[in-house]
Amino acid sequence: MDQRFAEVTAAMSTYFDGLYRSDTSLLGQVFHTQALYACATEGTLTQLTMAQYFPIVDKRPSPASSNEARADKIVSIEFAGPVTAFVHAECAIGPKRFKDFLTFVHLDGRWQIISKVFHFDLRDS
């Protein structure tokens, strides 16, 4: 197996753990400091920097704190070259089911998310 797959999969594990625990120290290991966070699900563009996004995560009750069942998975990983990857992933937090499109770059010896563009649907009760 291409080592890049293993490295991106490991980065995704950190990403999923960080979301599940609402732990920005974990998320900071996988997001580039200049990453873009974007969503248009509700009809307007939400666009945040990591400096804006991480405080929101810090204030959010974690799915782990309520023993929420994990629903995270990697749907696909594609490489555009030796230092660029695209990951389609799914996860859930509270009533929301997310479809994430994550673009990674390999800088400073590690894979880092440079953009997170996502859509969410509400779970049926």
Identify the CA nearest to 50 among candidates 69, 74, 71, 24: 24
pTM greater than 0.85 (yes/no): yes
CATH code of the domain in which 65 resides:
3.10.450.50
Contact indicator for 70, 20 with CB cutoff of 8 Å: yes
Give the containing element (helix H, strand E) for 16: helix 3-21
What's the rounded mean pLDDT across residues 94-111? 96
Residues with Cβ within 8 Å of 54's Cβ and at least 6 positions away in sequence, in order, are 24, 27, 28
**pLDDT number for residue 2:** 85
Q: What mean pLDDT do residues 66-82 have? A: 96
Per-residue pLDDT at 123: 81
pLDDT, tens digit, for every residue of 3-57?
999 999 999 999 999 999 999 999 999 999 999 999 999 999 999 999 999 999 9
Range of the domain at 97: 3-122
**pLDDT for position 122:** 92
The number of domains in the chain is 1
Q: Identify the residue whose tokens are 């779970």.
A: 123
From the list 65, 66, 113, 52, the residue with the least C-alpha distance to 87 is 113
